[in-house]
Amino acid sequence: MKRSLILPALILISLSPACGQTTAPAADAETPAEASVETSADASTAPAGPQVGDKIGESDAEKAAKDASVAAAAAEAMREQEEIKARGVTEIGWEDLMPEGEEERLQKMYAAQMATLYSIQEGSAADTAVQIGSFNTVDTYDGKKIRMPGYTVPFSYDAKAEISEFLLVPYFGACIHAPPPPPNQTIFVRTDDPILLKDLPQAVWIEGTLHAQKQESDLADAAYIIDLSRVEKYEY
């Protein structure tokens, strides 16, 4: 009898650990109630709406309006260029008025001027801004109709003044708050039909016939003259 009970006992002992492993929950496992509580907590702490640093894209309507604006600007620029070409006008820049090698010569002139400034006493008669440069010109556009941007420098000015002569310079404040540009970077503009300038230094587009001709004035000397035919406000 004792021998017959040994085998069933051994079988029972061997099966009991396995049954215990399958039925007992893991120590770190979440119960359904705990998972539900954590999910609710995460949802309650999640930020609502856009946060600092979030990128908000353009809507389809905004993109369409932007594309239409760019296309309209491009079409307007093309139309203006066609009109300029039809008038027989060539658009140039200030660098086109500088002969080859002129920039290097100008740098040497400025370096020589800076060397003499140390020996000039502040407030003396020699302590004045002088025009540096040359009257060397480019004959490529001499007698041609050109168009170029610049700032106006009238010889006299008041709110309702109509002027028939003024200087055109490449940068703001020249001849007034800063020394004059070189003569070949200064244009003397004349017109038979006086124009009204709203501001003293006004950014404009100038059209007219260019002459490589020297013109002296109290403000600055110019190596070029333009007979004005058209003036427009420069749009930035």
Q: What is the dihedral of CA 79, 80, 83, 85, to 10 degrees?
A: -110
Q: Is 167 part of a structural domain of the chain?
A: yes
Q: Is 63 part of a structural domain of the chain?
A: no
Q: Is 93 part of a structural domain of the chain?
A: yes
C-alpha to C-alpha distance for 101 and 140, rounded to whole angstroms: 16
Q: How many domains, in total, are found in the chain?
A: 1
Given a cut of 50, the residues of the chain with pLDDT beneath it are 1-25, 27, 35, 37, 41
Task: Encode pLDDT of 155-171 as tens digits.
Answer: 876 667 788 999 999 99
Q: Is 149 part of a structural domain of the chain?
A: yes
Task: Note the pLDDT of residue 6.
Answer: 44
Q: ∠ CA 63-69-72 to the nearest 5 degrees? A: 140
Q: What length is written for the chain?
A: 236
C-alpha to C-alpha distance for 195 and 166, rounded to whole angstroms: 10
Task: Note the pLDDT of residue 139.
Answer: 94
219 and 169 Cβ atoms separated by less than 8 Å: no
Q: Is 30 part of a structural domain of the chain?
A: no
Task: Note the pLDDT of residue 18.
Answer: 44
What is the model's pTM? 0.66
C-alpha to C-alpha distance for 145 and 209, rounded to whole angstroms: 4
Q: Is 39 part of a structural domain of the chain?
A: no
CATH number of residue 218's parent domain: 2.40.50.870
Structural domain range at position 128: 88-233
Task: Encode pLDDT of 49-71 as tens digits.
Answer: 667 766 667 777 888 888 889 99
Q: Is 129 part of a structural domain of the chain?
A: yes
Residue for token pair 């050109």: 146
Task: Note the pLDDT of residue 119.
Answer: 74
C-alpha to C-alpha distance for 22 and 44, rounded to whole angstroms: 36
Task: Note the pLDDT of residue 206.
Answer: 96
Q: Is 202 part of a structural domain of the chain?
A: yes
DSSP for residue 101: T
Task: Note the pLDDT of residue 116.
Answer: 75
